[in-house]
């Protein structure tokens, strides 16, 4: 039987990815991603394209949603610099 993990808390998300503004944090919380899913999305976001090539797939599901949020925020922060 598969055990269901609870969604990550705001504190857990901050611990994994770093502090973002509250709107980014809330978008991640709203995905109801588990801490493991947030960590996987963060790993995808900071990895180079080689990761997808080796695994032969991209970030999917909730991980993909969190990944998209992280990448969008990274792109916006680069534009602000």
pTM for this entry: 0.79
Residue 9 makes CB contacts below 8 A (sequence gap 6+) with 29
Question: Which residues constitute the domain of residue 40?
Answer: 10-80
What does the pLDDT read at residue 53? 44
Task: Give the separation between CA 60 and CA 78, rounded to whole angstroms.
Answer: 25
Residue 3 lies in a domain: no
What confidence score (pLDDT) does residue 27 get?
96
Domain count, the chain: 1
Is 1 domain-assigned? Answer: no
State whether residue 48 is helix, strand or coil: coil
For residue 10, give Cα distances in angstroms to 6, 39, 59, 81: 12, 13, 21, 26
pLDDT at 71: 87
Reported as a single tens digit per residue, the pLDDT across 13-67 is 999 998 778 999 999 999 999 999 999 999 988 886 555 545 545 677 999 999 9
Tell whether 5 is covered by a domain: no
Radius of gyration of the chain (CA): 13
């Amino acid at each position: 039987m598969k055990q269901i993990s609870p969604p990550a808390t705001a504190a857990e998300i901050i611990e994994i990815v770093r502090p973002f503004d509250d709107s980014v944090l809330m978008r991640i919380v709203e995905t109801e991603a588990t801490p493991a899913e947030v960590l996987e999305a963060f790993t995808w976001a900071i990895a180079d394209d080689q990761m997808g090539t080796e695994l032969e797939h991209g970030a999917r599901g909730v991980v993909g949603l969190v990944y998209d949020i992280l990448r969008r925020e990274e792109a916006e922060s680069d534009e602000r610099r």
